[in-house]
Structure 1
Amino acid sequence: MRSYRYGARVRRDLGLCSGAVASLTLANVCPWGAAPVDVLIADGTISDVVAAGTADTSGVTVDGGGLLALPGFINAHAHVDKSWWGQPWVSYGGEPTTQGRIAHERAERDKYGIPSIDGATAVLREFLRHGTTATRTHVDVDLGTGLRGIDTVRAAAAALDGAVEVEIVAFPQDGVVRRPGVLELLDQAAAAGASNIGGIDPASIDRDPVAQLDGLFEIAERRGVGIDIHLHDGGELGAFQMELIIDRTRRAGLHGRVTIAHGFALGELPAHRQAELLDELGEVGISWTTVAPAPSAPLPWRDMREREITLGLGTDGIRDLWSPYGDGDMLGIALRFAQLHRLRTDEDLTRAVRLASTGGGGFVHRPAFDLAPGARADIVLLDAENVPDALVRAPRRRLVMAGGRVVARDGEVLL
């Protein structure tokens, strides 16, 4: 029986954790629970994967001790600019509605120094500690903060020397057309390098879905960026807005560049309506992200998979003025997805973990992300018997590698 104890020979080069190494070998690990292999890494990229014990280990070597190896997790929907992680506890307040949370956040964020470089850095460090090495994060852009949040998140990512790759969505949390000037800010963010612009509930927040979507798609076409829209509205109201987004995507030729986040309505609709929408979503390449909240209706994820609709998982906010919950662990989100959708078989439990890792690659421009040659060397080692065991126990990450560097060990960030 395989031993899952962590290998004692962790590194030969004392500088391995603090800087890049041109080449190294991660020896004796079990990718996705398969037979042991040695992973060869050059310039931060996996160059080859060979049978364990066959690699040249005369150079810098990290002994994986036969542990389970997974690709670095990808958080496809985060809000790293808004957390009070690391600060004194903040009690929940305000009204528990979308409009109520927006108003409460606007009133209270300055008191808690949101956004701040320290706050965003603390969240990204938690991501790393749990094995997340890339994220798509929504960053608030509004008349109160301007583009300051984007600068803050970029500075936080730089503070970690790129260990967590960050893709930014300029996000109009307080609405788009109901706040004159927000469209101009989104346009400025896109011009300044934001990969995506966001939207939020075109019908219930702006109460003018045509105007919001026309404005967003015009910027996306002109600036060559993607669109990532929060859609909380349920039932037929949510379905109506999905149809509008599908139509705009088709007319703008933005196939594969539009994402719907949350999209709770999809799980609430009868099967025939789901099928109609899924056919169109698949046709225009609209992707989906979910945080799998417990009270929501399960998504038709198998039907989405059959239609090749990309589905990613995310943490949403972590200890912010919307919710006191969250710890940045994508295995926890994958477990919540599995529980919400009543997954039981080893195959399905493994698919839930893939949603939190390889399945999220497209959201951060990593279409071929896995433990394979050519991929960035982002690797997580866990003391687990297999992938389903890792999912249900969420054991401490024994080692996290980002871009070929060891950045966390035994739950401690080394940067």
Structure 2
Amino acid sequence: MQSSLRSVSSVRNVRPWGGDVSDLRIAADGTWGAVEPASAAAIAQGEIDGRGRLALPGLLNVHAHVDKSWWGHPWQSYGGAGGTEGRIRHERARRDELGIPGLDVTRNVLEQSVRTGTTALRTHVDVDPGIGLRGIEVVREAVAEYDGALHAEIVAFPQDGVLRRDGVVELLRAAAEAGVEHIGGLDPASIDRDPVGQLDALFTIAADTGVGVDIHLHDSADLGAFQIELIIERTQRHGLEGRVNVAHGFAIAEVSPARRQDLLQAMGGLDISMTTVAPLRLPQLPLKEMDAAAVRFGFGTDGIRDLWSPYGTGDLLGIAWQYARSSGIVRDEDLFRVAELASSAAASFVGRQAHDLVAGAPADLVLLDAENPMDAIVRTPPRELVLGRGRVLWES
């Protein structure tokens, strides 16, 4: 992989965010240098001619599962029971035969992600007594093959629950002490049936080790809202402001407007963020209300062609389209905001202070044949060029 990633000195004749045609210079450390008006000079060796295309920052997939997929395998028919519990059982029964976790599986998912524009991601990686921390090692190895051009943060994820399986709490602590950026949780009420116990275990580890907490919360309406209240209480108690994320969090869109406002205001005050995979069958998280409450918000692909669902292409821009369309978003300013959420506005989810087409930010870019960011969201055109840290991850 390293030998195939050629370095670029400049991307010329592009329109950052649909603005004026510009030249983007790349510094030796893989960050953006000067952003200049387009020059009439000939394209030199090491430069790329963007031919007036739309340039956006690299896409940020902030809720992925790159350790488990059947991408690259023959078609796998959907089997087993539905629901979270049913999918967990089905995955456990079949993951060994599909080599999950495995280096080839993760390589396939990462390759598909970068060719559609993702340059950094936050990925959940299963840990349980059956596989220990092996999945984390696999994901780290696959990401390392990009030699820094692709960035990933890891969430040690207890897919089968935290308390109901002996040894999982200890594995999460071991993962935190071994350097993962976050530890995860899963439906404290409906999976472990002990929301206080699960959350206290997770927040204690986070407070002790300095990692973040990223909790899958599928439970709906009042049950889900109750658990968000518990998360809010523990974030404040342990001083974990800015280090806690609620993934999915469908309950936010299902409770009364008054209760939703109270929850969002409390989350914004403690910098508790949210991520969504924009599921079509459920109400979407409310963009304007979340922005008004200063709740950081990002998009993720979830699983990609895995034993939970045959759907998924790894295209984060497709998730942004899905969110916008199912939310009824049509105005330019709102479509533009969705494009930001898919890229620059999600910087903190992958540990970056800045992720944009500005001097000093990582030189990550996706080039598209589109008129502006709004056109890119509604049309999801093919990606023509993807750069990570000033190196070519994908070129059509």
Task: Provide the TM-score with structure 2 as the length reference.
Answer: 0.97
Q: Which residue of 2 aligns with 1:25?
A: 10
Matches within 5 A, 1:252-331: 252-331=238-317
1:115 aligns with 2:101: yes
1:130 aligns with 2:116: yes
1:158 aligns with 2:144: yes
Name the CA shift for 1:243/1:58 in 2 (closer, same or farther; >3 Å).
Answer: same
2:350 to 358, 364, 385: 364
Is the CA contact (8 Å cut-off) linking 1:121 and 1:159 kept in structure 2? Answer: no
Matches within 5 A, 1:313-352: 313-352=299-338
Q: Which residue of 2 aligns with 1:37?
A: 22
Distance 1:55 1:317 in 2: 45
SS in 1 for 2:132: coil
Q: CA deviation at 1:56?
A: 9.5
Is the CA contact (8 Å cut-off) linking 1:312 and 1:356 kept in structure 2? Answer: yes
Provide, for residues 307-337 of structure 1, a one-character-per-residue CA deviation record: whole Å limited to 9, x for no partner.
2110000000000010100001111000001
1:227 to 213, 230, 248: 213
Is the CA contact (8 Å cut-off) linking 1:335 and 1:392 kept in structure 2? Answer: yes
Is the CA contact (8 Å cut-off) linking 1:17 and 1:405 kept in structure 2? Answer: no
Q: Which residue of 2 aligns with 1:7?
A: none
CA RMSD of aligned residues (A): 1.5
Provide, for residues 128-180 of structure 1, a one-character-per-residue CA deviation record: whole Å limited to 9, x for no partner.
10010000000000011100100010111122323321100000000001111
Distance 2:4 2:82 in 1: 44
Q: CA deviation at 1:54?
A: 7.1
Provide, for residues 225-271 of structure 1, a one-character-per-residue CA deviation record: whole Å limited to 9, x for no partner.
00000000001000000000000000000000000000011100110
Is the CA contact (8 Å cut-off) linking 1:25 and 1:40 kept in structure 2? Answer: yes
SS in 2 for 1:255: coil
Provide, for residues 49-94 of structure 1, a one-character-per-residue CA deviation record: whole Å limited to 9, x for no partner.
0111178965631111110000000000000001110111111011
Is the CA contact (8 Å cut-off) linking 2:25 and 2:35 kept in structure 1? Answer: yes
Runs of 4+ in 1 over 4 A off after TM superposition: 54-59
Aligned length: 394
Distance 2:23 2:160 in 1: 49
Structure 1: runs of 5+ lacking an equivalent: 1-15, 411-415
Distance 1:56 1:230 in 2: 51
Matches within 5 A, 1:355-394: 355-394=341-380
Is the CA contact (8 Å cut-off) linking 2:43 and 2:49 kept in structure 1? Answer: no
Amino acid aligned to 1:202: P
Is the CA contact (8 Å cut-off) linking 1:77 and 1:138 kept in structure 2? Answer: yes
Structure 2: runs of 5+ lacking an equivalent: none
Q: CA deviation at 1:48?
A: 1.2
Provide, for residues 180-202 of structure 1, a one-character-per-residue CA deviation record: whole Å limited to 9, x for no partner.
11000000101111000000000
Provide, for residues 96-125 of structure 1, a one-character-per-residue CA deviation record: whole Å limited to 9, x for no partner.
111111111111111111111000011000
Q: Which residue of 1 aligns with 2:194?
A: 208
Distance 1:388 1:319 in 2: 28
1:103 aligns with 2:89: yes
Q: CA deviation at 1:18?
A: 3.0
Amino acid aligned to 1:41: I
Name the CA shift for 1:28/1:213 in 2 (closer, same or farther; >3 Å).
Answer: same
**Of 226-235 and 153-162, the range deviating more from structure 2:** 153-162
SS in 2 for 1:95: coil
Is the CA contact (8 Å cut-off) linking 1:38 and 1:54 kept in structure 2? Answer: no
Distance 1:309 1:324 in 2: 31
Name the CA shift for 1:175/1:55 in 2 (closer, same or farther; >3 Å).
Answer: farther
Is the CA contact (8 Å cut-off) linking 1:38 and 1:55 kept in structure 2? Answer: no
Amino acid aligned to 2:125: V
Name the CA shift for 1:366/1:54 in 2 (closer, same or farther; >3 Å).
Answer: farther
Distance 2:256 2:285 in 1: 12
Distance 2:171 2:3 in 1: 39
Distance 1:35 1:405 in 2: 24
Distance 2:236 2:201 in 1: 16
Distance 1:78 1:332 in 2: 14
Q: Which residue of 2 aligns with 1:182?
A: 168
1:91 to 77, 97, 104: 77
Q: Which residue of 2 aligns with 1:4?
A: none
1:69 aligns with 2:45: no
Task: Provide the TM-score with structure 1 as the length reference.
Answer: 0.93
SS in 1 for 2:60: strand
SS in 2 for 1:27: strand
Is the CA contact (8 Å cut-off) linking 1:140 and 1:149 kept in structure 2? Answer: yes
**Of 351-360 and 113-122, the range deviating more from structure 2:** 351-360
SS in 2 for 1:105: helix
